[in-house]
Structure 1
Amino acid sequence: MAKVEVYTKAYCPYCMRAKALLAQKEITFEEYRIDLQPELRAQMIERASGGYTVPQIFIDDLHIGGCDEMMMLEAQGRLDPLLSN
């Protein structure tokens, strides 16, 4: 199973949507709440090559982007192969 990491904030509809898709697929993930741990924001931006909005999603250290990018991978049938590594 792939290692999935998601940087999020509370009250973020995109974060909730991304987490709901992962939950629907029964994928466990590590959630980093940058609103509760602001020191993680700089780490997120560095790992995401400048991406500063949430969510920022990583699968096995591969940055796939945010919620829209993850939904696009899902629609194209490319998300499940990434998650099954």
Structure 2
Amino acid sequence: MSEVVVYSSAWCPYCIRAKQLLTAKGVAFREISVDGKPDVRAEMTRKAGRTSVPQIWIGATHVGGCDDLFALERAGRLDALLNA
């Protein structure tokens, strides 16, 4: 299974939803908090090209945010990406 990395913030409802979906699917993920860490947020922004959280990577693939993750799930493509 590919490593899943989630940049998130504790107060962000989209982060919570994305993590709930991954947890419900039994997916272990590494969470990187950007709260109070401008250097970590800057790293995330540089890598993702986006400033909002969550930003999610599955292996080397940048999935995007919560809506992008749920779109993959609805399209039936999330499991294949997780198991690549």
TM bucket (normalised to shorter chain) is over 0.9
Q: How does 1:1-85 map to 2 (within 5 A)?
A: 1-48=1-48, 50-85=49-84
**After the TM superposition, which segments of 4 or more aligned residues of structure 1 sit over 4 Å from their partners?**
none
Q: Report the RMSD for the aligned CA atoms in angstroms.
A: 0.9
Q: If the length of structure 1 is used for normalisation, what is the TM-score?
A: 0.94
Gap runs ≥5 in structure 1: none
The CA deviation at 1:61 is 2.0
Identity of paired residues, percent? Answer: 50
1:9-50 CA distance string (max 9 Å, x none): 0111000000000000110011000004332111101110x2
Structure number with the higher helix fraction is 2
Aligned residues: 84
The CA deviation at 1:58 is 0.3
Query: In the aligned structure 2, how far is the partner of 1:2 from the partner of 1:84?
Result: 6
Q: If the length of structure 2 is used for normalisation, what is the TM-score?
A: 0.95
Gap runs ≥5 in structure 2: none
